[in-house]
C-alpha cells in the first residue's frame, strides 16, 4: 500500500502544479467607470480592442536564473493566457521594454528583441507598436540620435526620432518620444516637434473641411526652454489617441482617481502623490517614478493635438485621471515582477461608433502569492512523504 501511494503522490503533485500554473496566469480584469458615468456600453464585434502593457524590463542575455526559469517563464504565460482569453486586435508597449537598454551594445539589444519576440510567441503576427522609454534610450545626457534611430528601426511604425502615427479603422494613434521633450535644444526634440506640428495640421485640415479656415501662421516652433503655439478652435478630445512613456504634467481637477490600490474608486490626494512601489532588482532607471513631462510641454501637446485620450506609463502603477480640460489620461502599470509584486496591464476597447473607449484594468498574480503556493506544495509533499514513511516503518515494527 505504501509503495503504491509513494508512486502516485508525485503524479498528484505534478497535476496540481499544472492546474495551479494554468489558473494563476489568468488575468482578473475590471472595467473602470469614470466619475459621473453610470452605464458601460456593450462591446460590438467591430470595436477595436487594444492590449496595453508597459515596463516589461527584459534583460535578454543578461538575465539570471531567477528571471529565466521563474519571472520570465510566468511573464510568457501571462501573455499567452491574456491573448487567448481577451483576444485583442493589437498590442501596445508603452516604453521600457528593456531594463538596461541605454547601457547595452547593439548585439546585447538584439538578445532583448529576440526575447520580446519569444514572449509574443504564436501571437507575433498580431499588430503591435512599441514606444521608447527612458530605460531604453537613457537620460538627456545619453540621448543620441543615431542610437535612437537604430533602435526605432527595429519596431514597426517608428520614425528616426522614435515617434509614430497610424490609423486603424476610424481610430488615429500618435506616439511621441517623450524623453526628447524633456531635453534642451537637440535634433530629436525638434524632430518630435515636427511630428506634433504635422499631426496638428492634419487634424486642423480635417476639421476645417466643415468649419471656417483659421487665419495666421501655422508654425509651432519651440524655442529653448519654451513651447509656443497659436490658439485654435479645435475642441478638446477631437484629436488622436496619444501614446507616451512619461505621464503628462497634472493639470487636474477634483475628478481624479485610481492607483493600483484604488482601481475604479476615488483615492485620497495623499495617495496620488505617494511614491510608487519599486523593486531594486533591475535598478532604478534614469528618472524617478514620479517624473512627468514639464508643464509647458504638456500645455503644448494639449493645444496642438487636442487628444481624445492619453495613455502613458513609467510610474509602474495604474492611474485613471481627468485633466482640467476634460482629457482623460490612463497610466498603464508595469507588467513584470521585476517592477512590482502585483503587475498588471490595461485593455482599451475603442467603440466603432466613435463614442469614446471602455477601459479595463487587468491584474495579474502577485509574485509573493505564487512563491507562497510553491512553498506550501513543497512542504505538504515533504510532510506527507515523511508521515507515510514513518507509518510504514511503524507497521513493519508491529508486524515483526
DSSP per-residue string spanning 291-354: ----HHHHHHHHHHH--SEEEE-SSSS-EEEEETTS-EEEEPPP-STTT-SS-EEEEEEE-TTS
Bridge partner list, 360:
31, 347
Q: What integer best gives the mean pLDDT of the chain? A: 82
pLDDT exceeds 80 at position 53: yes
- Mean pLDDT for 294-323 is 94
Instruction: Report percent pLDDT > 70 for the chain.
Output: 77
- 317-368 per-position pLDDT tens digit: 999 999 998 999 999 999 999 999 999 999 999 988 776 899 999 999 999 9
- 183-195 per-position pLDDT tens digit: 877 789 999 999 9
* Integer Cα distance of 358 and 373 in angstroms: 34
Extract the C-alpha cell encoding 2: 505504501
Where residue 399 falls (left for φ over 0; alpha for ψ -120 to 50; beta otherwise) is alpha
- Mean pLDDT for 24-40 is 82
| Between 257 and 278, the higher pLDDT residue | 278
Per the listing, cell 487567448 goes with 84
pLDDT exceeds 60 at position 285: yes
- 132-153 per-position pLDDT tens digit: 999 999 988 888 899 999 999 9
pLDDT exceeds 50 at position 266: no
pTM for this model (two decimals): 0.84
- Domains, the chain, ordered by start: 43-209+236-250+278-365 (3.60.21.10)
pLDDT of residue 341: 94
Amino acid at each position: 500500500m505504501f509503495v503504491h501511494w509513494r508512486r502516485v503522490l508525485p503524479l498528484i503533485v505534478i497535476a496540481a502544479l499544472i492546474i495551479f500554473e494554468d489558473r494563476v496566469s489568468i488575468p482578473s480584469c475590471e472595467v473602470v467607470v469614470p466619475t459621473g458615468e453610470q452605464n458601460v456600453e456593450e462591446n460590438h464585434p467591430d470595436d477595436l480592442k487594444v492590449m496595453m502593457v508597459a515596463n516589461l524590463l527584459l534583460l535578454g542575455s543578461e538575465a539570471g536564473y531567477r528571471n529565466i526559469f521563474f519571472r520570465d517563464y510566468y511573464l510568457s504565460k501571462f501573455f499567452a493566457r491574456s491573448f487567448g482569453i481577451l483576444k485583442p486586435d493589437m498590442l501596445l508597449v508603452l516604453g521600457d521594454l528593456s531594463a538596461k537598454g541605454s547601457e547595452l551594445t547593439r548585439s546585447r539589444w538584439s538578445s532583448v528583441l529576440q526575447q520580446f519576440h519569444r514572449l509574443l510567441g504564436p501571437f507575433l503576427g498580431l499588430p503591435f507598436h512599441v514606444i521608447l522609454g527612458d530605460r531604453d534610450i537613457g537620460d538627456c545626457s545619453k540621448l543620441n540620435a543615431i542610437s535612437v534611430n537604430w533602435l526605432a528601426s527595429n519596431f514597426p511604425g517608428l520614425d528616426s526620432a522614435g515617434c509614430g502615427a497610424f490609423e486603424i479603422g476610424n481610430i488615429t494613434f500618435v506616439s511621441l518620444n517623450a524623453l526628447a521633450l524633456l531635453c534642451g535644444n537637440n535634433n530629436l526634440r525638434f524632430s518630435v516637434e515636427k511630428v506634433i506640428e504635422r499631426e496638428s495640421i492634419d487634424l486642423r485640415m480635417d476639421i476645417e473641411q466643415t468649419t471656417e479656415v483659421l487665419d495666421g501662421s501655422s508654425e509651432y516652433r519651440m524655442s529653448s526652454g519654451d513651447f509656443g503655439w497659436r490658439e485654435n478652435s479645435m475642441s478638446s478630445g477631437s484629436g488622436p489617441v496619444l501614446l507616451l512613456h512619461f505621464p503628462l504634467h497634472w493639470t487636474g481637477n477634483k475628478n481624479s482617481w485610481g492607483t493600483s490600490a484604488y482601481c475604479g474608486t476615488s483615492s485620497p490626494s495623499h495617495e496620488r502623490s505617494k511614491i510608487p512601489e519599486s523593486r531594486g532588482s533591475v535598478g532604478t532607471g534614469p528618472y524617478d517614478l514620479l517624473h512627468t513631462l514639464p508643464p509647458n510641454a504638456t500645455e503644448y501637446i494639449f493645444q496642438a493635438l487636442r487628444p481624445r485620450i492619453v495613455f502613458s506609463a513609467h510610474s509602474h502603477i495604474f492611474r485613471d485621471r481627468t485633466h482640467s480640460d476634460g482629457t482623460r489620461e490612463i497610466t498603464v502599470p508595469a507588467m513584470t515582477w521585476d517592477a512590482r509584486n502585483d503587475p498588471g496591464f490595461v485593455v482599451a476597447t475603442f467603440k466603432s461608433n466613435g463614442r469614446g473607449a471602455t477601459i479595463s484594468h487587468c491584474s495579474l498574480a502577485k509574485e509573493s502569492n505564487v512563491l507562497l503556493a510553491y512553498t506550501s506544495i513543497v512542504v505538504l509533499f515533504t510532510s506527507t512523504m515523511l508521515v507515510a514513511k514513518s507509518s510504514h516503518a511503524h507497521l513493519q515494527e508491529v508486524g515483526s
